[in-house]
């Protein structure tokens, strides 16, 4: 399961979708796809609309979250188109019923698509408000029997402090779920998603999307980003 933020589709734009950025994301996915890996993708909508931010500015929370879900469907369509342009078969499924543009999410159908070698892009989160796309990614990863939940971010892993503000920030090589949830300075994923992954023993890998062949290397088992799990100790990169 690959979780990608909507911001990855912006490119150099202040908001929205840059077709070239969408192609760059698609090519990253293709590198892993060509290794005969079954892939599902959950995409966010932050490049278009953020439900939580909008709710703080006056829009009712549930309404704002539904608007955010619609933004993820737009991003899903863009990613589906980009994947198909480079020869990767893809199906877009939505947790909200939108038959004109996407299949409805059906767990067994999504699994079958993956078995047939299609990338499945999952949009509209879980289809209900008050739930982030991170939690949706964790839930879908469990539903689809994925081996790992991989979150692509702007930095190459989880740090002990914000690397954009502190030059002496150090990256965690491995991190326990307990520390990922309890440490106040770690905000890479919401606690509901981490708690769900911890309870169901679903490892999480946080890595930088646009850095070399990170996704392919991670799939090949190389040391990329930060691994969060129940079977590791918290260790910093030396």
In this predicted model, what pLDDT tens digit does every residue of 114-142 receive, in sequence order? 999 999 999 999 999 999 999 999 999 99
Q: Which of 76, 104, 90, 102 is nearest to 6 (CA)?
A: 76
Q: Which residue has the tokens 């760059």?
A: 24
Task: Compute the distance between CA of residue 228 and CA of residue 37 in angstroms, rounded to an integer.
Answer: 21
Task: Mark out the alpha helices in 13-60 (DSSP H runs).
Answer: 19-33, 51-55
Neighbours of 116 (CB within 10 A): 10
The pLDDT of residue 222: 86
The set of residues, in sequence order, having a beta carbon less than 8 Å from that of 183 and lying 6+ positions away, is none
Q: Which residue has the tokens 């929205």?
A: 16
Residues of the chain with CATH 3.40.1160.10: 1-146, 156-238
Q: What is the DSSP track for the chain?
A: -EEE-GGGGTTTSSSS--HHHHHHHHHHHHHHHTTT---EEEE--TTT--HHHHHTTTS-HHHHHHHHHHHHHHHHHHHHHHHHHTT--EEEEESS--TTTSEEP-HHHHHHHHHTT-EEEEESTTSSSS--HHHHHHHHHHHTT-S-EEEEESSSS-BSS-TTT-TT--BEEEEEHHHHHH-TT--SS-HHHHHHHHHTT--EEEEESSSTTHHHHHHTT---SEEEESSS--EE--
Entry pTM: 0.92
Using the predicted structure, report yes or no on whether residue 213 has a pLDDT greater than 90.
Answer: no
Q: What percent of the chain has pLDDT over 90?
A: 77
The pLDDT of residue 185: 80
The pLDDT of residue 52: 66
The pLDDT of residue 96: 96
Tell how strand 119-123 and strand 204-208 pair up. unpaired
Instruction: Please identify, in words, the CATH class of the domain defined by 1-146.
Output: alpha beta
Task: Compute the distance between CA of residue 183 and CA of residue 48 in angstroms, rounded to an integer.
Answer: 30
85, 22 contact by CB (below 8 A)? no
The pLDDT of residue 238: 76
Instruction: Kindly tell me the burial class for residue 152, based on how many C-beta atoms sit within 10 Å of its own C-beta (0-12, 13-18, 19 or more).
Output: buried
Using the predicted structure, report yes or no on whether residue 32 has a pLDDT greater than 70.
Answer: yes
Right CATH number for 156-238 from 3.40.190.80, 3.40.640.10, 3.30.70.100, 3.40.1160.10? 3.40.1160.10
The pLDDT of residue 26: 97
In this predicted model, what pLDDT tens digit does every residue of 46-105 receive, in sequence order? 999 876 676 777 899 999 999 999 999 999 999 999 999 999 999 999 999 999 999 999
Q: Which residue has the tokens 């980009």?
A: 82
In this predicted model, what pLDDT tens digit does every residue of 141-191 receive, in sequence order? 999 999 999 999 888 899 988 888 888 889 999 999 999 999 888 888 889
């Amino acid at each position: 399961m690959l979780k990608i933020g909507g911001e990855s589709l912006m490119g150099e734009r202040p908001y929205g979708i840059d077709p070239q950025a969408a192609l760059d994301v698609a090519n990253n996915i293709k590198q892993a796809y060509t290794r005969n890996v079954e892939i599902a993708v959950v995409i966010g909508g932050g490049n278009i609309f953020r439900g939580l931010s909008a709710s703080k500015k006056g829009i009712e929370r549930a309404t704002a979250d539904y608007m955010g879900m619609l933004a993820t469907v737009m991003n899903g369509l863009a990613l589906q188109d980009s994947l198909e342009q480079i020869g990767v078969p893809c199906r877009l499924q939505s947790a909200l019923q939108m038959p004109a543009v996407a299949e409805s999410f059906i767990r067994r159908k999504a699994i079958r698509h993956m078995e047939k070698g299609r990338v499945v892009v999952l949009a509209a989160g879980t289809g209900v408000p008050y739930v982030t796309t991170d939690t949706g990614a964790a839930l879908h990863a469990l539903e689809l029997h994925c081996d790992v939940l991989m979150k692509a971010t702007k930095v190459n892993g989880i740090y002990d402090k914000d690397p954009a503000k502190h030059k002496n920030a150090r990256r965690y090589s491995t991190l326990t779920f307990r520390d990922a949830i309890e440490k106040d300075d770690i905000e890479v994923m919401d606690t509901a998603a981490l708690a769900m992954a911890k309870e169901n023993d679903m490892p999480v890998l946080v890595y930088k999307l646009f850095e070399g062949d990170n996704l392919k290397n991670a799939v090949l088992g190389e040391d990329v980003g930060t691994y969060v799990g129940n079977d590791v100790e918290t260790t910093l990169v030396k």
